[in-house]
Amino acid sequence: MQIGEILAVAFQSILANKLRAALTMLGIIIGIAAVVTVVALGTGAQRAIDARISALGARLLSIYPGQSYQHGIASGERVTLRTLDAEALTRDARLLDGVLPEIVRSVQVKYGNQNINTRVIGTTPNYDDVRNYTLRAGRMFTAGDGEARRRYAVLGHAVPGMLEASATEMLGQRVFVRGIPFEIIGIFAEKGSEGSWRNPDEQVVIPLQTAQFRVFGTDRLRSITVRVVEGVPLEQGMVDVERVLRREHGIRPGEDNDFRLRNRQELLNTQQATAQVFSYLLASIAGVSLLVGGIGIMNIMLVSVTERTREIGIRKALGATRTNILMQFLVEAIVLCLVGGVLGIALGSSGAVALSRIAGWNTFISFGAIVLAVAFSAGVGIFFGLWPAWRAASLNPIDALRYE
């Protein structure tokens, strides 16, 4: 029998049994659609977290003031982190490409007759680069602005709203920080919550020297954030920071650090682990759907076996060989799985797209999930389609005809 005839027989049989074909396909469609949608959700969530991690700066280390130790005993005196330390890091560290000292105070900020209390950060001009801010309007202050201790301020995205003014109107105007007038030279674009309790858009950024000499009168830093050169492991960056700061602080070998080093990655790992649990959960839901779909396929294949055994008996009595029968059933199963698979992928993908549109969830349609789901459904369909057919085709025609 030629391939054309085999196909014709298989198609005729499918068309003659539309309900059975539809039910089989339904199992395949449900299984595949569920897997595609659910895995798209899981992958999307994972990717969103990965993206957030790189936005937050996976290469950033934070240095905080610590406790000083003498002969292993805390001295009680709190050692400070000073602007000099930041200068030393900029000068001597070899594995860093960004050093960001920050003096931070929560103070009164006044604009017109509006009065708020918010964070004011004295820092260096590379703030936007290291912290991943972009400017929505105006400009960032320069190193020259800092040296000249100019009273320039760059506002966070949320600040104009807090002061009940519009961003465009504020640019070039004066804002009072602790009663000292500052010119607004720039406004940041929205950064959005990073999952931290602090809103990164509710702050005012001013030059470090201005903060140090004109506003706060201190060189004590809340922290220094450093960025490790791309491709260098964070651990090496940490060693580099320790080397420079220990020398700067005159700490002898064997003595403990008088500063704390925090790796942002550690914080984020927790989030990532949570996301992983979430995606395992989703994957197991997908697995169950696939199983249910598979059982559906299996059922309909096995339930139709009586009818099909008689059909096989009739076909054999009329001159079909075992191979003819098997080919017919194989082609039938493959066609059903292909059509069902395509419909399932289409349905699952539109489900994923709909979820991301309507619910605003991140979704990502994973090729691997599609392959897995199709392979599983097709495997079940073909196995449970072919196995009874093979058994029936091996019988004497009369036994197949007598089957009940």
Partner 1 sequence: MADIRREYDMGSEVVRALRGVDITIEVNEFVAIMGSSGSGKSTLMNLIGCLDQPTGGEYRLNGERVSELDDVELARIRNREIGFVFQTFNLLARSTALHNVELPLVYAGVGRKERRRRSEETLEKVGLSDRMRHRPNELSGGQRQRVAVARALVTKPSLLLADEPTGNLDSTTSQEIMALFEALHRSGQTIVVVTHNPEVADHADRQIHLVDGSVERDVRTEGSA
Q: Which of 300, 305, 286 is nearest to 381 (CA)?
A: 300
As a whole number of angstroms, the distance between CA 194 and CA 179 comes to 31
Nearest approach in angstroms of CB 343 to partner 1 is 23
Of 314 and 375, CB closest to partner 1:
314
Nearest approach in angstroms of CB 336 to partner 1 is 16
Of 101 and 313, CB closest to partner 1:
313
Nearest approach in angstroms of CB 10 to partner 1 is 12
Handedness of CA 101, 103, 106, 108 (dihedral sign): negative
Of 4 and 368, CB closest to partner 1:
4
Nearest approach in angstroms of CB 296 to partner 1 is 22
Contact 188, 202 (CB under 8 A): no
Using alpha carbons only, what angle is made at residue 21 by residues 20 and 26, rounded to the nearest 5 degrees? 95
Q: Strand pairing partners for 120?
A: 105, 204
Contact 206, 177 (CB under 8 A): yes
Of 109 and 312, CB closest to partner 1:
312
Of 345 and 400, CB closest to partner 1:
400
DSSP string, 29-41: HHHHHHHHHHHHH
From the CB of residue 208, how many other CB atoms can be counted at a distance below 10 Å? Answer: 27
Nearest approach in angstroms of CB 28 to partner 1 is 22
Nearest approach in angstroms of CB 314 to partner 1 is 5
φ, ψ for residue 260 (rounded to 5)?
Answer: -115, 140
Q: Which residues bind partner 1 (CB under 8 A)?
A: 1-2, 5, 8-9, 12, 16-17, 310-311, 313-324, 396-399, 401
As a whole number of angstroms, the distance between CA 218 and CA 27 comes to 71
Nearest approach in angstroms of CB 332 to partner 1 is 14
Residues 6+ apart with CB under 8 A from 332: 10, 13, 14, 385
Nearest approach in angstroms of CB 20 to partner 1 is 10
Of 219 and 311, CB closest to partner 1:
311
**In 363-398, which positions are buried (b, 16+ CB within 10 angstroms) versus exposed (e)?**
bbbbeebbebbbebbbebbbebbbebbeebbebebe
Of 273 and 303, CB closest to partner 1:
303
**In 324-356, which positions are buried (b, 16+ CB within 10 angstroms) versus exposed (e)?**
bbbbbbbbbbbbbbebbbebbbebbbebbeebb
Of 264 and 310, CB closest to partner 1:
310
